Amino acid sequence: MDYFPIFLKLQDADCLVVGGGDVALRKVRLLKAAGARLTVVAPEVTEELAMMAQRGELQWRAGLFTDDMVSGMRLVIAATDQRVVNQQVSQVAQQHNIPVNVVDDPEISTYITPAIIDRSPLVIAVSSGGSVPVLARLVRARLESIIPAGFGLLAAFSARFRERVKARFADVEARRTFWESVLEGPVAEAVMNGREAVACEEMEKRLASAEDSPSGAVYLVGAGPGNPDLLTFRALRLMQQADVVLHDKLVAPELLELVRRDAERIYVGKARANHTLPQEDINQLMVRLAKSGKRVLRLKGGDPFTFGRGGEEIETLAEHNIPFEVVPGITSANGAASYAGIPLTHRDHAQSVTFVTGHKKDGSIDLDWPALTRPDQTVVVYMGLTMAAELCAAFIAHGKPADTPAAVIEWATTPRQRTLSGTLQTLPTLISSYGVASPALIIVGSVVSLADKLAWFRRVENGPATMPDLQQK
């Protein structure tokens, strides 16, 4: 280890920055965030630094650096574009045993500034020892993407209960187990969602309870249309914390690989007229698991509230006083349309878009056809694959021209994606001829005509003439 990592308290401490350019400005911002009293030495400074000086946020000494300027300083940074000046600053600071950093010159620095992830009071520093600063920044970017902004709130919240938890659990191992259950459970989620009063109430219950077992909760998480890169940060974090995962076949296998390795996985898939578990049984299963103290992840393709029956499930959870959270996902319609190059709205084609399920609860297609056949709109049909022929015929019967463009997108956003483009008249034959299977969405409207030109992810197949070519691929 070439450098010993420390966190230096600079609140109300005098710090010196030599230099007035953009590099110096970046360092001033960091020191300012740490509460330092700043002096900037430079003949000229950026407009922002000058404004800071006018507001009294720092002292600007317009001129050249002199040796006496380091006197009384807690920290010194040299950020000029002249190495001779930087060397002089470093030499003088070291003579006074003051930590000094010369920007991008670790050889004449006594400390280096790491890449910082600020979730105050939680602060994470990443360093490459000054040898490859870009690598440190790349690592910081990776960490930024997986560490929620709410961790700062969680750290501050937990600090308030530290002594009480210590008094409640004399045994170190029991204390650690308790904190793990808090920091990865409903209390933490409530804090990071801004519901501090709820978190305090739950924390008081936990501390007063004679039982130390963690309380359960259910998280309805939208897994998006299939591509793991389209998950939200929050969805990924909950996937890696869950004790039990309930999923169906609309969740791509690649997404399940991101779930915590030791989590129990329960398949609750449903297909038309062939339900592995009826919906009510799924609802009750979530209740039982949560009451047993499990963190339950209900992982749904697309978005839980867009034909995902999320509303039905949280109604049951609310009736049983089970803590729950809904994490939205990119809808299957948005994902499929984007990856197929079919804009759902377009000034020349469609001024509105309608999402509709392909059949009702009783299996019929007795839908609001006057609304679905209005001109200048796009219609996205969920769960319409097995009824495609009946649906297309109904569109035509209710006044939609038979040559209206229509497409089906199978396994949207994944490497298996196929887009078949035709018309209301030809689409059922395309689906049958190509053996399209669920998950798939149907899009109806003139925007489909743009797919040939705008498809960027996978090429569009148009009609039976290209069938042999596709079947060979």
Task: Count H helices and E strands in the chain, helices first.
Answer: 19, 20
pLDDT of residue 211: 56
Q: Would you say 252 is a known binding-site residue? A: no
pLDDT of residue 465: 36
One domain for residues 424 and 341 = yes
Q: What is the pLDDT of residue 467?
A: 36
Cβ neighbors of 165 (< 8 A, separation 6 or more) are: 175, 178, 179, 207
* CATH number assigned to the domain comprising residue 231: 3.40.1010.10
d(CA 335, CA 227) in angstroms, rounded, equals 9
130 known ligand binder: no
What are the backbone dihedrals phi and psi of residue 116, each rounded to the nearest 5 degrees, phi first? Answer: -120, 135
What DSSP string runs through 21-34? SHHHHHHHHHHHHT
Non-local CB neighbours of 433 within 8 Å, separated by 6+ positions: 464, 467
* Distance separating alpha carbons of residues 341 and 409, to the nearest angstrom: 11
Domain boundary among 330, 350, 377: 330
Is 178 a domain residue?
no
Do 232 and 349 reside in the same domain of the chain? no
What's the pLDDT at 185? 79
CA–CA gap between residue 42 and residue 19 (Å, rounded): 5
Active-site annotation holds for 368:
no
125, part of any domain: no
pLDDT at residue 282, as a whole number: 92
One domain, residues 283 and 369: no
Under the banding of pLDDT at 50, 70 and 90, the label for residue 464 is: very low
The per-residue pLDDT for range 179-194, each reduced to its tens digit, is: 877 887 788 888 988 8
Q: Is 383 annotated as a binding residue?
A: yes
Threshold 0.95, pTM exceeds: no
Same domain? 340 vs 265: no
The CATH code of the domain that includes 377 is 3.30.950.10
CB 302 within 8 A of CB 223: yes
> What is the reported pLDDT for 370?
94
Same domain, 351 and 326: no
State the Cα–Cα distance between residues 65 and 204, nearest whole angstrom. Answer: 57
> Is residue 468 very low, low, confident or very high in pLDDT (cuts 50, 70, 90)?
very low
User: Which of 276, 304, 330 finishes a domain?
Assistant: 330
Domain with 12, as residue range(s), is: 1-113
Segment 71-98, tens digit of pLDDT: 999 999 999 999 999 999 999 999 999 9
Same domain? For 338 and 322 the reply is no
**pLDDT score recorded for residue 260:** 85
Question: Is 202 assigned to a binding site?
Answer: no
Report which of 312, 345, 309, 321 is spatially closest to residue 222, judged by C-alpha positions.
309
Confidence (pLDDT) at 212? 52
- Whether 355 is covered by a domain: the verdict is yes
Lowest mean pLDDT segment, chosen from 303-317, 359-373, 401-415: 359-373
For residues 207 and 178, the answer to whether their CB atoms sit within 8 Å is: no
How many alpha carbons lie under 13 Å from residue 437 in its C-beta half-sphere?
5
**Proportion of the chain above pLDDT 90, given as a percent:** 60
Give me the pLDDT at residue 219, please.
93
The answer, yes or no, to whether residue 404 has pLDDT greater than 80, is: yes
- Residue where the block lists tokens 């996205």: 380
257-266, 297-306, 464-473: the lowest-pLDDT one:
464-473
Question: According to the annotation, is 301 in a ligand binding site?
Answer: yes
Q: How far is CA 137 from CA 122, 144, 152, 159, 241, in A?
A: 18, 10, 20, 29, 27
Q: Is 443 a domain residue?
A: yes
List the structure tokens of 145: 């993407």
The verdict on 339 and 449 lying in the same domain is yes
- How confident is the model over 312-317, as a mean pLDDT? 93
Nearest Cα to 356, choosing from 380, 333, 336? 380
260 within some domain:
yes
Per-residue pLDDT averaged across 37-64, rounded? 96
Q: What is the mean pLDDT of residues 446-455?
A: 92
Q: Please report the pLDDT score of residue 455 as a whole number.
A: 85
Q: What is the mean pLDDT of residues 289-301?
A: 91
> Which of 32, 105, 249, 270 is an active site residue?
270
Catalytic residue among 27, 243, 248, 294: 248
Is the pLDDT reported for residue 210 higher than 60?
no
Interatomic CA distance for residues 170 and 166, integer angstroms: 6
Is 225 annotated to bind ligand?
yes
In a domain, 141, yes or no: no
Mean residue pLDDT of the chain comes to: 89
Domain-embedded: residue 138: no
The rounded distance, in Å, linking the Cα atoms of 114 and 260 is 31
Residue, of 278 and 418, whose pLDDT is higher: 418
Dihedral in degrees, nearest 10, Cα atoms 133, 138, 144, 145: 180
Residues 285 and 349 in one domain: no
Question: Residue 148's pLDDT band (boundaries 50, 70, 90)?
Answer: confident
Judge whether residue 462 has pLDDT over 70. no
pLDDT at 371: 94
CB 351 within 8 A of CB 345: yes
- Asked if residue 22 belongs to a known ligand binding site, the reply is yes
Q: How many domains does the chain have?
A: 3
At residue 472, the pLDDT reads 29
Residues making up the chain, counted from first to last: 473
pLDDT greater than 70 at residue 178:
yes
Judge whether 435 lies within some domain: yes
The answer to whether 270 is a known catalytic residue is yes
**Looking at the structure, do residues 424 and 360 belong to the same domain, yes or no?**
yes
- Asked whether the predicted pLDDT for residue 215 surpasses 50, the reply is yes
Q: Model confidence at 205, in pLDDT bands (50, 70, 90)?
A: confident
The pLDDT confidence band at residue 444, using thresholds 50, 70 and 90, is very high
444 is known to lie in a ligand binding site:
no
Judge whether residue 213 has pLDDT over 70.
no
| 352/350 Cα distance (integer angstroms) | 6
**Same structural domain for residues 347 and 455?**
yes
Could you tell me if 219 and 324 are in contact, meaning their C-beta atoms sit under 8 angstroms apart? yes
Do 317 and 347 lie in one domain? The reply is no
User: What is the C-alpha separation between 320 and 272, in angstroms, rounded?
Assistant: 29
pLDDT for 264: 92
pLDDT at position 274, please?
52
Residue 229 known to bind ligand: no
Higher pLDDT, 365 or 377: 377
DSSP SS3 for 71: coil
Distance CA 47, CA 438 (A): 59
For residue 8, the domain's CATH number is: 3.40.50.720
**Mind listing the pLDDT tens digit for each residue in 106-139?**
999 999 888 888 888 888 999 888 778 888 889 8
Q: Which of 113, 139, 163 is the last residue of a domain?
A: 113
For residues 342 and 467, membership in a common domain is answered with yes
What's the rounded mean pLDDT across residues 422-426? 96
